[in-house]
Structure 1
Amino acid sequence: MKHIILAFVFTLSVYASQAQETYTVDGETLELKTEVEGNLDLLWNVIDGQYRYFVRTQDGAITELKNTKDSNKKYQEEYKATLNSIMDSGYNVSVDNVDLTLPSLKKVIDLYNGTSDVSYQSVVKKAEPQLRLGVLGGLTNFPFVENPNNKLSPIFGAELEVISSKENPRHSGFFQLRHALENDELKYSSTELSLGYRYRFVSTSKLGVYANVKFATLSFNKVTYTYENNNSQLVSTSDHETIFDAPFIFGIGGEYRISSRAFISLNYNRLVAIFLDSPDNFSTDVSLGFKMIL
C-alpha cells in the first residue's frame, strides 16, 4: 500500500509540473499554465485570487494582458492594444470584441495561430448539437385533472434531448412522449407529446441540476365512465379528446453521469402550470430515467 501511495503522489507531482511552469515576468516570479501553444502562447493562472493572463511570442518574450481603470473608474482595455502590437496586422485578426477572459482570449489567439500557421492544430472545439435519447418511468396523480381520492397511476415514456456538445452546457431543448395509465378508481389515461426547454443551473462533468418548462403539448386523453342503466346493468362508455395547448408546465430535476455516454435522471415533472387549472391535490408526478448520448 505504501508503494502505491508513493507512486500516486509521484504521478500527481509529475502532472502538476507539466500543467504549470515558473516564469519571471517584469521581475515577478509566477507559476503559469499554458492554455494555447503556437506562434503565440497563452499563459494564465489565478494569483492571489485574481485571474491574470499573459502572451508569449516566438522569441520567448512574455507580456501581461491588462485591463486597468482610470480615475473615472473606466476600463482602459490595454490588453487589446497589446494584442494588436503583437499580432501581425497582415492576418487581419480583429480584437475589437475580445474580452479579458480565458475563453475569449483562447479563441482569438487560436484564430491567429491558425491564420498565421497552416500546420497549426486548433485547440478550440466547436460546439455542435448533441442528441441524448432517454426512457423514463414513474408515478403521477394527474395534478391538473380532478382526482378526488388522489390515486397514483404509472407513467412511462421516452425523450429526445438536443444539447450543445461543449463542456458542461446549460441550455437544451427536448421532445417528450409520455403515457399515463388509468387506475382502478380514476378511469383516465393520457398520451402526451410535448416540446420543452431545460436550463441547468448546476452543470458539471458529473452532475446537472435543472429546471424545465413544457411550452407546447398535444394530448390524447381517454375517460371511461361506468354507470347503471335503466335495466340496472352496469355500462361503461369511453370519451376520447385531443387537445393542443401551451400550458407552460414547470418542473425540476437532476441527472448524474454514470459513464462517458450514459446518465440516470430523477425528475419532479409537474410542479405548476400557468395556463392549466390545478385541483386541490398537491402535485405528485415523479419519474426515474436513463438516457444515452447518440
Structure 2
Amino acid sequence: MKRILFLFCFITTLISYSQQEYTIDGQTYILKTEVKGPINLLWNSIDNEYRYFIKKGASITELKNTKKNGVYQEEYKTTLKAQAPEATLPIDKVKLTLPSLSKYVINYNKQVDPTYTSSSETIQLKTRLGAFAGVSNNVYYTNPDNTILPALGVEFEIIDDVKLKRHALVVRFKQLLESDDYDFSYSEFSLNYRFKFIKSTKIDVFVNAKVAAYSYASRDVTFINSSGNEERITGSGGDLQAPGAFGLGADFALGNGYLTFSYNDIVAIGLESSDEFPVDFTLGYKFNL
C-alpha cells in the first residue's frame, strides 16, 4: 500500500499548470498558459465552457466561434490571422480545440523565431478527478451465494493531449461494502493503464488494464466446500498483486468533465476466479482539473 501511495503522490507532484489572473475587456479571468513564445495561448474552462485567448505583447484577444442561423462563423481564424500576420501557415483546418490551437501557435512561434522550442510539443499532461458508484460480485474471492455488493470509489486520471492521446494512467480506489447476507468488505488501490480505441470530442471508449493493486479484505464466510462439508473462512489481511485484470469503459463528454461507465475486471490473468460470471459495473463523473 505504501508503494502505491508513494507513486500516487509522486505523479501528482509532476503535474502543474501555469495560471494567472488577466483582465480582458473589463472582465477578470484566471487563465492557464498552454503555449509560451512570441505569441501565447491562454485558456480555461469558464462557466462550463472552454475559452481560448491569444496574447501578443500586452494585447489579449479571445478566440471565438459563434453560431448564426445554425452556421458557425469561425471568427477565431480571422483573429489568428490578425495576430500572426507574418505567418504563412494554413489555417483552414485549425479547430477551436486546445490541441489544434496549440499546434498552430507552436508552428507560428517557430516560424518567426528559428531558435524557439516548446515543451508543449513533447507532452501536455492533463488530469481528471472523479467519483463513482456501482455493484460487484467480486468473483476473485469466496462468494458462495454470488452476492452482489455495493461499490464506491474515486479515480485520478492522467492524460497527454499531444503525443499519447489514446493512452491514460489511472490511480483508482474502490471500496466494496458488506451486506447482511455476506459479511465481506474489500478495499483496493490500483494502478491502471487505459487504451482509448475510440476517441472523439464526445466519447472515448477504452480497454482498462489493471497493472498493480493493493487489496485489503475482511470476511467471515460460511459455505459448503467441494466435499459437501461446511467450511468457514474468517479474518482480514492485505496483499500487493499484479492481477493483469482487463475491463471495458466509456467516457461521455458532459459539462466540464465526463460521465464515465465501466465494466471492470472481466478477466484477471493473475487471479483465480470462481465459476460465476463477473458482475462489476460502475457509473460516475469526473472533472477536468
The answer to whether the superposition gives a TM-score over 0.5 is: yes
Q: Distance in 2 between matches of 1:279 and 1:237?
A: 16
**Residue of 186, 205, 212 corresponding to 1:209:** 205
User: What residue in structure 2 maps to residue 244 of structure 1?
Assistant: 240
User: Whose radius of gyration is greater, 1 or 2?
Assistant: 1
What letter corresponds to residue 270 of structure 1 in structure 2? D
Question: Paired residue for 2:124, among 111, 128, 133?
Answer: 128
| 1:198, distance to aligned residue in structure 2 (A) | 0.9
TM superposition shift of 1:293: 1.4
1:135-214 equivalences under 5 Å are: 135-166=131-162, 169-214=165-210
Using the TM superposition, give the Cα deviation of residue 163 of structure 1 relative to its aligned residue in structure 2, in angstroms: 1.1
How much does 1:202 deviate? Answer: 1.3
CA distance in 2, matches of 1:243, 1:134: 25
Aligned position for 1:12: 71
The amino acid of 2:268's aligned partner reads A
Check 1:207–1:41 CA distance in 2 against 1; reply closer, same or farther (3 A cut).
same
Q: Which amino acid aligns with 1:12?
A: V
Q: Distance in 1 between matches of 2:205 and 2:240?
A: 29
- Shift in Å at residue 258 of structure 1? 1.0
Quick check: 1:113 aligned with 2:160?
no
Distance 1:153 1:254 in 2: 22
Matched-pair contact (CA < 8 Å) for 2:77–2:91: no
Tell me: CA distance 1:201–1:111, structure 2 relative to 1, closer, same or farther (3 Å). Answer: same
Q: Match of 2:90?
A: 43
TM-superposition CA deviations, 1:24-57 (whole Å, max 9, x none)? xxxxxxxxxx8x95544123779xxxxxxxxxxx
Query: Take 2:176 and 2:71, find their aligned partners in 1: how far apart are those partners?
Result: 52
State the alpha-carbon separation in 1 of the partners of residues 192 and 202 from structure 2.
Answer: 23
**Structure 1: stretches of 5+ with no match in the other structure:** 1-6, 21-33, 47-101, 228-235
- Distance in 2 (CA, whole Å) between partners of 1:216 and 1:242 is 14
| Cα separation, partners in 2 of 1:16 and 1:190, compared to 1, 3 Å | closer
Distance 1:262 1:109, change over 3 A: closer
Matched, 1:264 2:223: no
How far apart are 1:220 and its partner, in Å? 0.6
SS in 1 for 2:209: strand
Query: Taking structure 1 as reference, are residues 37 and 195 closer, same or farther at Cα in structure 2, changes over 3 Å only?
Result: same
User: Quick one: structure 1 residues 168 and 37, their matched pair in 2 at CA, closer, same or farther if it must change by over 3 Å?
Assistant: farther
Task: Report matched runs for 1:73-92 at 5 Å.
Answer: none
Secondary structure of the corresponding residue to residue 110 of structure 1: helix
Kept in 1, the 8 Å contact 2:167–2:196? The answer is: yes
CA distance in 1, matches of 2:158, 2:186: 25
Q: Secondary structure at the match of 1:41?
A: coil
3-state SS in 2 of match to 1:43: coil
| TM-score, length of structure 2 as denominator length | 0.60
Aligned mates of 1:198, 1:220 — CA distance in 2? 24
Q: Distance in 2 between matches of 1:117 and 1:239?
A: 64
1 CA distance for matches of 2:288 and 2:106? 30
In structure 2, what residue type is equivalent to 1:184?
D
How big is each residue's C-alpha offset from its partner over 1:223-264, in whole Å with a ceiling of 9 and x where there is no partner?
11469xxxxxxxx994011111001110110111111x2211
The corresponding residue for 1:276 is 271
**8 A Cα contact 1:158 1:177, kept in partner:** yes
How far residue 207 of structure 1 moved from its aligned partner, in angstroms, is 0.9
Contact 1:38 1:113 (8 Å CA) reproduced: no
- Structure 1 position 292 matched with structure 2 position 274: no
On the 8 A contact 1:39/1:116 being kept in 2, the answer is no
Q: Which has the higher contact order (CA 8 A, sep 6+)?
A: 2
Q: Report the residue type matching 2:112 in the other structure.
A: G
Q: State the aligned residue count.
A: 205
Runs of 5+ consecutive residues of structure 2 not aligned to the other structure: 1-66, 94-99, 224-231
Identity %: 26
* Aligned partners of 1:168 and 1:203 also within 8 Å: no
